[in-house]
């Protein structure tokens, strides 16, 4: 229940920005629909408060011996297995795989983003998947802090027209989502209409990791391993 309140604080911060807890209507083509110049300080204050609450919850988690006994050496996926299965995102990084689109392509605003996965020496068990999430929380807070400093007083330009698609073309876009690599790919015809549009969610890759984590394990390990991956059912079927 304590962590549920923290989740609520995060959702309420999103609502502060765009009026919707789930961020609906926030993103527009080529940008966003809402200015946050006057909200920067309040957003950062909320983020800092959320971080301290999460830090306290995580500290209690790591110190609980009964929790660590279940987390450590349960549901192990090796680095070799993760590479063979093509795991992505935190599930892959928890196995020691250095693959993060934010550092892989060095595109804005991640040009200075560093992937520190090799320093963590994780081994692909439930604890590793939990710890990598905490690591993401810490890095996300720092990213938000730095980005808020870069925001000036520029006015939003929402008059951008959606450009005409190129005919007879193939395009692919990759983004590091919170579960890992998200890909959008499409093919257009001679009239610039979509022939094929395919979305691949990271869960498509990572369900195989859950299967591997459960091999030769106990039935009682399933709920724990399942939530340590936290995958999407509908994302697998996109």
Return the exposure string of 29-41: e unless at least 16 CB atoms fall within 10 Å of the residue's CB, then b: eeeeeeeeeebee
Q: How far apart (Å, rounded) are the C-alpha atoms in residues 140 and 10?
A: 13
Q: How far separated are the first and last CA of the chain, in Å rounded?
A: 32
Give per-residue pLDDT as tens, 136-190.
999 999 999 999 988 876 666 666 677 889 999 999 999 999 999 999 999 999 9
Per-residue pLDDT of the chain (238 residues; tens, 9 = 90+): 678 899 999 999 999 999 999 999 998 887 888 989 889 999 999 999 999 999 999 999 999 999 999 999 999 999 999 999 999 999 999 999 999 999 888 888 888 787 777 778 899 999 999 999 999 999 999 999 999 988 876 666 666 677 889 999 999 999 999 999 999 999 999 999 999 999 999 999 999 999 999 999 899 999 999 999 999 988 877 7
Q: Where are the beta strands (DSSP E) in 3-43?
A: 27-28, 31-32
Full-model pTM: 0.88
Phi, psi (5° rounding) for residue 55? -60, -40
Domain definitions of the chain by residue range? 64-236
| Selection from 113, 131, 144 nearest residue 41 by Cα | 144
CATH code that applies to domain 64-236:
1.10.645.10
């Amino acid at each position: 229940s304590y962590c549920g309140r923290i989740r609520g604080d995060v959702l309420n911060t999103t609502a502060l920005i765009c009026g919707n807890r789930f961020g609906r209507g926030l993103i527009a083509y080529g940008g966003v629909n809402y200015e946050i110049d006057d909200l920067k300080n309040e957003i950062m204050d909320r983020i800092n408060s959320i971080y301290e609450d999460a830090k306290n919850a995580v500290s209690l988690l790591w110190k609980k011996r009964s929790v660590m006994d279940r987390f450590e050496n349960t549901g192990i996926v090796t680095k070799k297995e993760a590479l063979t299965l093509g795991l992505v995102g935190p599930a892959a990084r928890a196995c020691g795989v250095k693959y993060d689109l934010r550092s892989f392509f060095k595109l804005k605003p991640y040009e200075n983003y560093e992937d520190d996965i090799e320093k963590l020496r994780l081994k692909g068990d439930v604890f590793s998947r939990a710890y990598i999430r905490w690591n993401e929380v810490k890095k996300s807070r720092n990213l938000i802090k730095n980005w808020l400093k870069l925001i000036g007083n520029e006015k939003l330009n929402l008059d951008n027209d959606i450009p005409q698609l190129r005919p007879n073309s193939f395009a692919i876009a990759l983004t590091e989502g919170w579960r890992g690599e998200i890909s959008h790919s499409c093919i257009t015809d001679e009239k610039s209409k979509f022939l094929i549009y395919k979305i691949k969610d990271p869960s498509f890759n990572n369900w195989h990791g859950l299967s591997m984590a459960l091999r030769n394990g106990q039935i009682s390990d399933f709920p724990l391993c399942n939530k340590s991956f936290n995958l999407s059912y509908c994302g697998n079927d996109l």
